[in-house]
Structure 1
Amino acid sequence: MIKKIFPVLAALALFSCNQEQKKEQKEVEIKTSEVTVTNHSYSKLDEVKTLHLNLELSLDVDKKIIEGIARHRVKNAGFKKVYFDIKDLNIEKVTLGDKNNEYDARFEIGEYDSLLGSPLIVDLDIGDLFVNIYYSTSPSAEALGWLAPELTGSGKYPFLYTQGQAILTRSWIPVQDTPENRITYSATVKVPEGMLPLMSATNPTELNESGVYHFEMKQPIPSYLLALTVGELEYRKLSDNSGVYAEPHMIDAAEKEFKDIPKMIDAAEGLYGDYLWDIYDVVVLPYSFPFGGMENPRLTFVTPTLIAGDGSLVSTIAHELAHSWSGNLVTNASWDDFWLNEGFTVYFENRIMEEVYGKEVADMLAIIELQELKNTISEMNKEGNQKDTHLKLNLDNRNPDDGMTDIAYGKGSFFLKTIESKVGREKFDVFINGYFNAHKFETLTTEDFVNYLNKNLPELSEMGFNTEEWIYGAGIPDNIVKVESKKFEIAEQLASDIKEGKNLPKDLKRKDKTTQEWMAFIRGFNGELEKDKMIALDKQLNFKNSGNSEIMSEWYVLGIKNDYKEIRPEMKAFLTKVGRRKYLEPLYTTLASSEETLEWGREVYKEARPNYHAISFNTVDEILFSK
């Protein structure tokens, strides 16, 4: 996905403590050169940085806004200004001093950028340690997913969730929005009756009568992991340190689907040390959630598309759990280094899956990852974006979402797999354990990692292993480790036989193979299969309405390419229900490949777009309307 960066808009204003005073103030010009951007943030962490954030929040579900106070306890290195990131926030006033001794502060809001938002610049006395920002969000805040009651299971209550990664936290909290800074936080949240709020922090498990809830996150986290969700939610305990939340209509299925979470935690701890976040809970969000999962500490957010009924898609849970070490515990210092989060996490996810479900399952998942990586590299090469196939990126003046591709995930994980194959698993496990322990609750650059690698696995360079080729080079190096699966070979051969005209077996059943095998089968057609054969396969296997989102999305893409219009009712139902970008992007991209399918896709999108989060509809907008 490549997103356009639009020109910066000039809109500078001096704000005061109330609305009337705002109207009387003259505009204050701030020269662009005076406001620097580092790591997609206006904050100047070497001058003044937040140590702890205390939030006081109140939800207005009718207006779709959050009203709040963000109280920053800061560390001042001797400077008279502090810089925060904001985007489409209404800043009512700023004060200095602790809660019982506040006084008004002078502040300015710098010019607005369509990607970065604006700098909020507050004048300080050198001794000031507390900055209090009174604000409210916009109804269209990019981080906030507001859902009307009719889009929830019971239809009784609205729903809210946040999605801060990469740089969207600034649209719901005035904050120094860069992964480079880690902070602790606390919060008090007031919500309407009947709704339960949860955060990436300590959480309640049931409603209280007051509607006021308190939260604490005592471990320091980067700003993109600040998270909130509010809705009609129930909790089921899975073990002493794990459980699942979901809407009432889905809680039984969620509890059953994710029953192996305790086993995953045990496997992860056995591999790479203690889980340091106390509790690992999962909350199943509504279908508009744009990602498979988000690793918010203590409370992973997941899409309901993972609930396939047979536990076949729980690798996403293993992935988000793995983030508790790679990403949450040791974090990329900038979005150029995103692979440090995701490459390690995919590698670790695969190890968890192997430990819990066996090597055969883990190998199939790795092969799928490699297939998707090769497709991404092929598309990037066609578009002339070879530099985006490097692990270390340069995302200056670009949306950091541009780096959230299969390169970070797949190439990053295979880089680590290849190192493991060279030095041996036992030695590599010692290395990773040491890496996590040495850098816990820290942020690292790619160069920091390379230095640690060279120091702690010097035999790699002695073998002639070219680390720079993997990190700073394009594509996939020739020495990539080979992963094979007999089951995949059988599934791909079956696809080849059907494609070449051999008789379709009459006893195919979907339960005969895993989700991953059926994905290999569908991909084995390489995008070409006669419509009559697709119809015959659907009669036996019902891919078009299987309930498994991975299979359905693969099948729909194949159907679009082969004029299988009979699946359009099922595809429309899928597109209007599911907001996960992983599925939407290939489906709408394939629909955009011809005039007729593009027209149909646009018609469906008119109905579907209100059900999507901004992360998803921004992507689809560009796919369908950039021509």
Structure 2
Amino acid sequence: MRYSILSLCLAAALAAGCSRDAAPPAATADKGAAAVTTADQKTLAEVDEYSYAEPDKVRINDLALQLKVDFDKKELGGSATYTLDWADPKATQLILDTRDITVEKVVGERSDGKWVDLAYKLAPKDKVLGNKLTIESPTRNARIRVTYHTSPDASGLQWLTPAMTEGKKTPFMFSQSQQIHARSWVPLQDTPRVRFTYTAHVTSPQDAMVLMSADNDPKAVRDGDYTFKMPQKIPSYLLAIAAGDLVFQPISARAGVWAEPTMVKKAANEFADTEKMMVTAERLYGPYRWERYDILVLPPSFPYGGMENPRMTFATPTVIVGDKSLVSLVAHELAHSWSGNLVTFSTPKDGWLNEGFTSYVENRIVEDLYGKEAADMEKVISRNELAAEYKEIDPKLQVLALRPGTLANPDDASSSTVYTKGAWFLQFLEERFGREAFDPFLKEYFNHFAFQSIPTTKFIEYAQANLLDKYPGKVTEAELDEWIYQPGVPASAPKTVSPRFDAVDAARKDWLDNGTLPDKAATAKWTTQEWVHFIDGMPRTLKPEQLAALDAAYHFTGTPNGEIAQRWYPLAVRSGYTQANEAIAAFLSKIGRRKLIMPTYNELVKTPEGLKLAEGTFAKARPGYHPITTGSVEEAIAKAKSAPAAPAK
């Protein structure tokens, strides 16, 4: 998933989410938790505190879905059939994770092929984990089927009216299963420890095209009746579905774009380098093992930059700005095809195994295609964000491998830790061992653990045997332990500088000191990264007339570039630049991508007049927000209303 590192393209460069839009980190953590040592971690590695499932007793090998998409009721209804592997000979219960799901019937297949009713119990809802579903299976049925329907408020689904879509004609539905939201639309063992194949038969209104994280046929006929197959085993958070007015535009023989008709050609042009990215990644890290790589461009309400659903990346339209300046989001989501989808963390507390590796691979793709200078700008921006985040968050959240109990909700992990510190650690290893040794190591790591879910301890063991021991004297175990289990950034972290950013810094300083705007000939060549760095380096507040001068020269207010907007508007709010309020409200109403809008909401709620604007805007925008985004905005407003208001400016 894409969070906040900016990406690059031919002319300019950019979450995640993947795409890397993770939730904002919690400011504090469980005071009783502490950084875990290597020895401790070995005994805790396979504990997934965010799932009720007991996969050591029984686990799902295959999932067969029969679903109906009902836009009027805003629900999915049907059944899930599980092919089971009973590992514990004494086990007679199948425990599944659910959230706000109505279970209608549970049956098990007998040895003679007949299906019989099974007793089940749905426990009261836990705020984070949802409802534990316990199914009694005295005869240890090889297959069990749950008939159910979802809630209109399912946390992993968003239902949009036609007015909320690009084309304004057809309703739209899409899922977001990561971290633990798959359980809100399919009863599952919702833990990355369990990988399964799946098939699906989905019916919908005839005017809706249905897609899944499976073998989507670019030539599929839109008839309201669709079948899917995912032959590779995936964890539950990669289960995905979408339905709406969608058409296909090819990029290459194995890659293409799905989007609403008014968006599809624009998106295909923006993502034209996808095949080049695939070729680069294969040369570095081995073959792409998922057959096709398609991109689904979702409506603006998608809460993340991108989501790495296998074969079908879900992407925000906010990266389509017409100049390819934000397309390294594709590099990030594509990189997940090796780091995350192929080799997966076994519990959310090891999130860096997905996002840190992916951010590193993304940067290597960017460097290979667009040059080291562009890749270095990406590193500087992300590390500046890391430094800013580490001034605020609890040190217990600054470790790569978290101790169980540290994080109440997996959506609240420190994004900069799992993405940026994780990637920085891999760059540290790369520089110590050299690319001639590290690249083959990483390529074989992906091959060795292909289609497996592993904890951090597995990586450490593998790195010890295949890197540290193979090339003695390069990295000590103490250094490895410091990077993975200690807070902060080790002093051994490699430094990255950017001459282009040095020029931006000089131009900003000249303007702040003398009021002299940067030379137009220079700024005309600035990339997205340079503009972002220009704004990021400003004082916390400016005089309104200073912002007006910048606006007159560069038209930041109303910019279509979300990466610039998410930095400019908070600065405008803090500085009392009310001329931007109308554009701020329009931006917050149009975009649902959490990473882009939450910085502005968080600044607005700090003053009475800002809080009023935030509440009014949210009331209008809420129907178009995803439940994940809605929860973040609600929390920000609620905290502000419960705390003493700051004095009005």
Q: Is TM (by shorter chain) over 0.5?
A: yes
Spell out the pairing of 1:249-260 with structure 2 (5 A cutoff).
Answer: 249-260=262-273
Deviation at 1:447, TM superposition (A): 1.1
Q: Are positions 1:73 and 2:83 aligned together?
A: yes
Provide, for residues 232-275 of structure 1, a one-character-per-residue CA deviation record: whole Å limited to 9, x for no partner.
01101111110001111111110110000000000100110000
State which of 413, 427, 432 in structure 1 corresponds to 2:442. 432
Contact 1:509–1:541, Cα closer than 8 Å, also in 2: no
Q: Matches of residues 350-365 of structure 1 in structure 2 within 5 Å?
A: 350-365=363-378
Per-residue CA deviation, residues 262-290 of structure 1 (Å, 9 max, x unaligned), is 00000100110000000000000000000
The answer to whether the 8 Å contact 1:90/1:135 transfers is yes
Residue-by-residue CA offset, 1:75-115 (whole Å, 9 max, x unaligned): 11222111111110010000111896322111111232111
Q: Which residue of 1 aligns with 2:13?
A: none
Secondary structure at 2:237's aligned position in 1? helix
Larger mean CA deviation between 136-145 and 92-101 belongs to: 92-101
> 8 Å contact 1:96–1:128 — kept in the other structure?
yes
Alignment of 1:422-461 (within 5 A): 422-458=432-468
Please give the alpha-carbon distance, in whole angstroms, between the structure 1 residues aligned to 2:633 and 2:384: 23
Contact 2:432 2:475 in 1 (8 A): no
Please list every run of at least 4 consecutive aligned residues from structure 1 whose deviation after the TM superposition is greater than 6 angstroms.
none
Cα–Cα, structure 1 residues 254 and 464, in superposed 2: closer, same or farther, change >3 Å? closer
Contact 2:67/2:200, CA 8 A, preserved across alignment: yes
Q: Given that residues 182 and 220 in structure 1 are in contact (C-alpha distance below 8 angstroms), is that contact kept between their aligned partners in structure 2? A: yes
Which residue in the other structure is 1:205 paired with? 218
Structure 1 residue 214: deviation in Å? 0.4
What is the SS of the residue equivalent to 1:457? helix
The change in CA–CA distance for 1:409 and 1:3 in structure 2 (over 3 A counts) is: closer
The Cα of 1:160 is off from its aligned counterpart by 0.3
2:233 match: 220
- Supply the AA of the counterpart residue of 1:80: T
- Equivalent of 1:387, from 381, 396, 399? 396
Aligned to 1:609: 622
For residues 549 and 203 of structure 1, what CA distance do their matches in structure 2 show? 30
- Give the deviation of 1:571 after TM superposition: 1.1
Alignment partners' CA distance in 1, 2:628 and 2:82: 28
Write out aligned runs for 1:585-600 (5 A).
Answer: 585-600=598-613
Aligned residue number for residue 146 of structure 1: 159
Displacement, 1:585?
2.0
User: RMSD over aligned Cα, in angstroms?
Assistant: 1.9
- Once the two structures are superposed, residues 108-137 of structure 1 have per-residue CA deviations (whole angstroms, 9 ceiling, x without a partner) of 112321111111111113441100000000
Identity of aligned residues (%): 41
User: Contact 1:76/1:126 (CA < 8 Å) preserved in 2?
Assistant: no
Task: Say whether 1:89 aligns with 2:108.
Answer: no
Deviations 1:50-96 (A, max 9, x none): 00000000011001011010000001122211111111001000011
Counterparts of 1:461 and 1:571, CA distance in 2: 55
Q: Deviations over 1:421-472 (max 9, x none)?
A: 1111111101101111110000111111111111111267724541111111
Question: Which protein, 1 or 2, shows the higher relative CO under an 8 Å CA cutoff with sep ≥ 6?
Answer: 2
* Distance in 2 of aligned mates of 1:506 and 1:4: 41
Cα 1:269–1:37 shift into 2, 3 Å: closer
Residues 542-600 of structure 1 show CA distances to partners (whole Å, capped at 9, x for unaligned) of: 11122111011111121112111111111111100111111122111122233332232
Query: In the alignment, what sits opposite 2:178?
Result: 165
Structure-2 change in CA distance of 1:365 and 1:4 (3 Å): closer
Which amino acid is 1:445 matched to?
P
* Pair 1:405-2:418 in alignment: no
Q: Give the secondary structure class of the aligned counterpart of 1:379.
A: coil
Whole-Å separation in 2 of the counterparts to 1:569 and 1:64: 32
Greater mean deviation of Cα atoms: 455-464 or 401-410:
455-464
From 462, 465, 468, the equivalent of 2:473 is 462
Whether 2:527 is the aligned partner of 1:514: answer yes
In 1, Cα distance between equivalents of 2:427 and 2:620: 43
Q: 3-state DSSP class of the match of 2:154?
A: coil
Match of 2:537 in 1: 524
Report deviation, 1:506: 6.3
Residue of structure 2 in register with 1:231 after alignment:
244
Comparing 37-46 with 233-242, greater Cα deviation is found at 37-46
- Alpha-carbon shift at residue 411 of structure 1 (Å): 0.4
* Alpha-carbon distance between aligned partners in 1 of 2:47 and 2:444, rounded to the nearest angstrom: 33
Q: Take 2:521 and 2:488, find their aligned partners in 1: how far apart are those partners?
A: 38
Shift of 1:378: 1.0
Correspondence 1:275-286 to 2 at 5 A = 275-286=288-299
**Paired residue secondary structure (2:232):** strand
Match of 1:12 in 2: none
Unpaired runs of 5+ in structure 2? 1-23, 29-45, 643-649
| Aligned residue identity for 2:514 | G
SS in 2 for 1:237: strand
Distance 1:167 1:200 in 2: 17
Return the letter of the residue paired with 2:176.
Q
Number of residues of Structure 1 aligned to a counterpart in Structure 2: 593
